[in-house]
Each structure stands twice: as C-alpha cells, then as structure tokens.
Amino acid sequence: MITSPAFRGKRYMVLGLARSGLATVRALAASGAVVTAWDSRAEARALVADMAALADPVESDLAGFDAIIVSPGVPLNRHPIAERARRAGIPIIGDIELFAQARASLPPHRVVGITGTNGKSTTTALIHHMIKAAGIPTTLGGNIGLPILGQDPLEANEKGEPVYVLELSSYQIDLTFSLDCDIAVLTNITPDHLDRYDGFDAYAASKMRLFSLQSEGHGAIVAVDQELTSKMSDRAARSAYFTSGKVTRINSAAVAKALGQENWPALQGPHNAQNAALAEAVARELGIGSKLRWEGLISYPGLPHRMERLRELAGVLYVNDSKATNTTSTAPALAAYPSVHWILGGQAKSDDLDACLPYLDHVRAAYTIGESGSMFARLLEPMMTVEECGVLEEAVRRAHEKAVSGETVLLSPACASFDQFQDFEARGEAFRHFVEALA
C-alpha cells in the first residue's frame, strides 16, 4: 500500500468503507495516523475495527480532525456531513487528495490524469496498456482499477520513471486540491450528473479544476472534436482554464485516420478514434517511440462492458456496452454497427435521445427496460419498432428471436443502472449471462 509520513500523527475521519474507503483506512493507519471510520453497514465497520475507532461523523464531535475523507459517491450537495464539516472548519477530501499529499515521499514518478464525461475509462486503460507495453512501470487508479492507496508504490526500471495513470470523475476532482498532474487529459464535456451540480456550467467547471491544479510547464492534452472543448482550449480562452500554459489540441478523427484506425481491432467506432488519439498523444509526450505506440494500439484488448463482443450466434453478434450510461456515450456504439437490435433503458439522466438521433437509421428495433422504458418507447415508436420488455432477460430473449444473420444485438442503455442493478458492471454481467445461455 501507499503510506506517507505526511499522515503521521494526524486525525482523520473516513466516511464510507467500500473499496476505496477500506484502502484509505489501512493506508492511514499504517502511516501512523489516528483514524475514526464509519459506514452504515455493520459488516463494513467490522473490517476496520482493529485499525480505527468507530463513530458516525453526522452525530460525532468533529473538533480536532485534520480532514474528513469521503467516498466520491457521497452527494455533498445534500449530505449533512458537508454542512457539519463547514461549521467545524474541517476540509472534506478524497483518497486522490491523500495520494497527492503522499507523492513527495514516493520514489520519483509521473502522474497522468484523465477526465471528461465519456471515454475516460477506455482512454485511461489504453494509456496504461501502451505504457506497460513499452516496459515502463505503471498502474491504474482513481475511477478504474484498484484503489490507489491500496497499491504498492512504483519503482523505476531501466525503461524509465514509473507512471501512475488516474481516471478522475468530477466527484473525485471535487475532493482534490493539490493533485498536480504531469499530463492532464480532457476527452469531452456533455451534460451528466446534474443532480449533483447547479447546472451544466458548474459541472464543466468541476472537470476543468483538474487543469487549474497543474504547475507551469506540465502538459494538458485536449480533444477538440467538440465545440466546447475547442473553444476552451483555443489560444484566446485557454488562460481561463489551463494554468500550465502547455496545451496540446488533438483532432481525433484526423489523427485516427493518419494512424490507421482500421488496424486496431478493439478500437473501432468514432468514439474510439478520440480515445486512441488522446492515448497516442500521451504516450508520445511520455517519450514512448512511434513503433511501440503503434503496437500498443494494435494489441489493446478493450474494456469489459464497453462495446465488448460477447459472442456470435447464427451470424448475430452480441455486444455488451453496459458502460454507456448516458445518450452521448451510447451514440458512438450505435454508429459502429450498421444493423442493430438496441436494448436501452434504466435510470435516465435526460428525457431525450438527441445525441443518438443521427444513428437511429442503424436500428432495426428497440427493446426498452427499466424505469425509463416507457418514456424511451414513446420517443422511438414514431421511428421504429419498439418492444417494452421491462427487464433485461426479456429484452435479450425478444432481440434474439428477431435478429438475423449479419445484425447486432446491442446492450447500450443510455442510462444509469441503479433502478435494477447495483452498477453498470452488474448489468453487463447479467447481459453476459443471458447471452451465454442462448442456444
């Protein structure tokens, strides 16, 4: 695990003991900090009883604590801990901020941080894959992989300094105040998570804070396919958003065409053009040679639940895109396949499918599920055949009955999963199970 003398003797309250919270308690305790922890689940509290005192911060005296560490999932715009901490004058931070504070005691290294609304996970995983393929020590953390504090510190080898690659959600950036990324990456910004922010501008500002934390000379790499990110990063406006002064603008489609996207098996579709172009630019900035960058793009295996090819049965391809939790993320999946039986629905983040409209001519039929199923059915019925299925198993069964050779059954829900599943991973695994049971 990552420990640091920066934490020794300090008092911390940790709220939430899922994976990152548990790793945080362990790292702080091992560093000599005094830790108090809480989770509503008794079984979670039992896991830290030998390392931390147990007390609910909403009901406890907070005087004397140096910081409260919360899970990114805690909604600070409505959770009572936010007001209690404000009154007590205690900062609320996350495990990424603790990692930032620990960096001075780690062996020399670099940090790449990736944010944006869509494409973060694939871009992060691809960057990590290219660095690893080049023989440089590296690890994933943040919103992907294992909790960063639970991982062992990286050591340099003959190939160079190690690189920590962090996928950073807006929630994580909100809890971070000193993470100075050597390279920070922006994929795109579209409306999402607006229940946590006072409008789209506030959400966008949360993303852009990552770049305001960078030191002068550190690199920012921005995909400019989107009008918003293009305007933010043009020469006239960049001083308002980027403090490092070193901004590389990437035209993803042009880069992907020049590099030969048709040769990258797991990186098809227009959204993957952006992911690959950004990853290639980061690898280049890290000093990885062109041959190794090319080999990394070809050998990348893809992520589970993101346009993941599950099987082909009687000429029909079944694709798991459960990670598409908003319409902007679903649109590229529709674009990637010419003849689609589309399974969508769940906990909607918007009441429209506008981002998907350019690709609806690829859809042969739609099968809706979840609490948004009826709403999406009404939107789509004027344009195509729609079946309201309610649950995922029924949608898979009906799509299997209707699809013919050469077509694709695509789970790309354009919605969060929490109405019927614990998370998008659980939804994707359920889809995998139902598909594998088909005969």
Are 275 and 122 in contact, with CB atoms under 8 Å apart? yes
DSSP conformation letters of 420-433? TSSSHHHHHHHHHH
Please name the residue ranges forming H helices in 198-269. Answer: 200-212, 227-233, 252-259
Question: How far apart are alpha carbons 229 and 187 in whole angstroms?
Answer: 8
Q: State yes or no: is 143 an active-site residue.
A: yes
Nearest Cα neighbor of 187 from 233, 124, 119 is: 119
Instruction: Identify the three-state secondary structure at position 312.
Output: strand
Among the listed residues 118, 120, 271, 349, the single catalytic one is 120
Question: How far apart are alpha carbons 428 and 308 in whole angstroms?
Answer: 10
Nearest Cα neighbor of 363 from 380, 378, 349 is: 380
Say which residue the tokens 């000379």 belong to: 217
Q: State yes or no: is 157 an active-site residue.
A: no
242: left (phi over 0), alpha (psi -120 to 50) or beta: beta
Q: State yes or no: is 402 an active-site residue.
A: no
Are 415 and 349 in contact, with CB atoms under 8 Å apart? yes
All residues at 6 or more sequence positions from 169 whose CB lies less than 8 Å from its CB, including other chains = 72, 115, 120, 142, 143
| DSSP letter (8 states) at residue 152 | P
CA distances from residue 201 to 77, 190, 194, 207 in whole angstroms, order as listed: 16, 10, 10, 10
CA pseudo-torsion sign 111, 115, 119, 121: positive
* Sequence letter at residue 299: S
Among the listed residues 10, 109, 132, 193, the single catalytic one is 193
Question: How far apart are alpha carbons 81 and 77 in whole angstroms?
Answer: 10
Nearest Cα neighbor of 44 from 19, 23, 17, 74 is: 17
Question: How far apart are alpha carbons 338 and 332 in whole angstroms?
Answer: 12
Strand 415-416 and strand 347-348: the pairing is antiparallel
Among the listed residues 118, 128, 129, 143, the single catalytic one is 143
Q: How many helices (H) and strands (E) does the chain have?
A: 15, 19
User: Catalytic positions, please?
Assistant: 120, 143, 193
